[in-house]
Amino acid sequence: MARGKRLRVAVVGTGAIADSHRAAYQAHHDDVDLVAAADVDEARALAFCATTEHAKPYPDLDSLLDEQEPDLVSICTPPGLHVEQTKKVLERGAWVWCEKPPCRSLAEYDEMTSAEREGGPYVSFVYQQRSGSAVGHFRQLLAKGELGRPLVAHCQTTWYRDAAYYAVPWRGRWTTEGGGPAMGHGIHQMDLLLHLLAGAGAGDGDGDSGAGGEWTEVQAMTARLVHDVETEDVSTALVRFGSGALATVVNSVLSPDEVSRIRIDCERATVELTHLYGHSAENWRYTLAPDVAEIPTEPAEDVRSSHAAALTPVLEAYRAEKRTPCSGADGRRVLEFVAALYKAAFTGQIVRRGEIGPGDPFYRDMAGVAAG
């Protein structure tokens, strides 16, 4: 593949989130041509393509791949389709940028990533809350020791979804969505929390620290309090990290006062991120401990989190023929955490990182009920 050329990109599934992918590709128009989009709903594919410069609509992924041979494909279909469609694209040699949740289970994750090849193609997942300059700045401060050790954290996704939202057939069901708000909504904040803490003690803010920054055990509860769905509509969890730090997690779609929040109390400062669907530097508040005179809390530049910002490292990785961020073990971290949260809630047991492997019912199914 010619790495200097403009990228030919395509979108599969032209529903609600596809607009964010179109906007991201348009923001990178110097580099990228959005050449095609596929949806089984012909009217949606047509309407989507009409908002682009020259994307061609297709009724399915196969005909799009046959005719267009794209370099990179956005998967924006419901989660139950991600494994099959991602494998298909990777097997054709194109890279994949796949919406969250990556898929419905750890087994599916391992299956889809097994179609990757060294140097590409890779599949990376859209955890856009990790993007934006404030995240990297926090990780650098943490890695350099400016903040001291993280001690206790709160991770809150308290959103509101009505009955009309759950009228879309694939939502709220284990087989099609893979879970409730822990899987579909809170995954962004939980991924961000795990990503922020994984950087503790790494030295330069770029890498992950290993065991100390990773979660080690989780206890959890789920409930279905309002919606007529199969999955939970609220969950809570208690988490311990390798460093000894503790965290609480709440994922809800029942909360009229909607907020996404991460608060991390470190030895030298409390850092609090408060937003809803995206953040810039103004959403981050640093409160220094009484004996701390100064910490450089402002990032050098202020890039807001977004799909466009999350796409930048994906395109860079493509050009460099390197593994993308939010792929492989890095993309799997939060999915393993969600599987553990569900296992802990269903069994009433403490679940430890690494224990859900092939053979564990929660490896194949977030509800722990799928046959072998």
Ligand X SMILES: NC(=O)c1ccc[n+]([C@@H]2O[C@H](COP(=O)([O-])OP(=O)(O)OC[C@H]3O[C@@H](n4cnc5c(N)ncnc54)[C@H](O)[C@@H]3O)[C@@H](O)[C@H]2O)c1
**DSSP state string for 181-230:** HHHHTTHHHHHHHHHHHHTTT-SSSSS---GGGSEEEEEEEEE--S---S
Q: Which is nearer to ligand X, 78 or 242 (CB)?
A: 78
Q: Which stretch binds ligand X (CB under 6 A): 10-18, 203-211, 279-287, 359-367?
A: 10-18
Q: Which is nearer to ligand X, 40 or 226 (CB)?
A: 40
Q: Provide the mask over 16-45, with x wherever binding to ligand X is found by CB under 6 A and - wherever it is not.
A: xx--------------------xxxx--x-
State the minimum distance, in angstroms, from the CB of residue 310 to ligand X: 9
Distance, CA of 107 to CA of 114 (rounded, Å): 11
State the minimum distance, in angstroms, from the CB of residue 311 to ligand X: 12
Residues 249, 341 contacting (CB under 8 angstroms): yes
Output the CA–CA distances (angstroms, integers) from residue 217 to 179, 192, 241, in the order listed. 20, 18, 7
List of residues 6+ apart from 348 with CB closer than 8 A: none
Residues 32, 97 contacting (CB under 8 angstroms): no
User: Does 2 engage in binding with ligand X (CB under 6 A)?
Assistant: no
Residue 227: which H helix or E strand, with range? Answer: none
Please select the residue that binds ligand X; options are 184, 199, 201, 331, rule is CB under 6 A: 184
Closest to 125 (Cα-Cα) out of 83, 155, 63:
83
Query: Which residues, numbered 273-332, are part of the site for ligand X (CB under 6 A)?
Result: none
Distance, CA of 47 to CA of 270 (rounded, Å): 46
Distance, CA of 38 to CA of 18 (rounded, Å): 11
Tokens of 303: 């890039």
Distance, CA of 285 to CA of 36 (rounded, Å): 42
State the minimum distance, in angstroms, from the CB of residue 307 to ligand X: 7
User: Does 189 engage in binding with ligand X (CB under 6 A)?
Assistant: no
Q: Provide the mask over 52-91, with x wherever binding to ligand X is found by CB under 6 A and - wherever it is not.
A: --------xx--------------xxxx-x----------
Widest CA span of the chain, in angstroms?
Answer: 64
Query: Which residues, numbered 89-108, are part of the site for ligand X (CB under 6 A)?
Result: 99-100
Closest to 236 (Cα-Cα) out of 320, 151, 323, 158:
158
State the minimum distance, in angstroms, from the CB of residue 55 to ligand X: 14
Q: Provide the mask over 138-177, with x wherever binding to ligand X is found by CB under 6 A and - wherever it is not.
A: ------------------------------x---------
User: Does 13 engage in binding with ligand X (CB under 6 A)?
Assistant: yes
State the minimum distance, in angstroms, from the CB of residue 39 to ligand X: 4
Closest to 335 (Cα-Cα) out of 77, 122, 127:
127
State the minimum distance, in angstroms, from the CB of residue 69 to ligand X: 18
State the minimum distance, in angstroms, from the CB of residue 93 to ligand X: 20
Q: Which amino acid is at 184?
A: G
Query: Which residues, numbered 196-255, are part of the site for ligand X (CB under 6 A)?
Result: none
3 φ/ψ angles, rounded to the nearest 5 degrees: -80, -15
CB-closest chain residue to ligand X: 15
Distance, CA of 62 to CA of 12 (rounded, Å): 10
Q: Which is nearer to ligand X, 82 or 137 (CB)?
A: 82
State the minimum distance, in angstroms, from the CB of residue 77 to ligand X: 4
Q: Please report, as ranges, the residues that interact with ligand X according to CB under 6 A.
A: 12-17, 38-41, 44, 60-61, 76-79, 81, 99-100, 126, 128, 168, 184
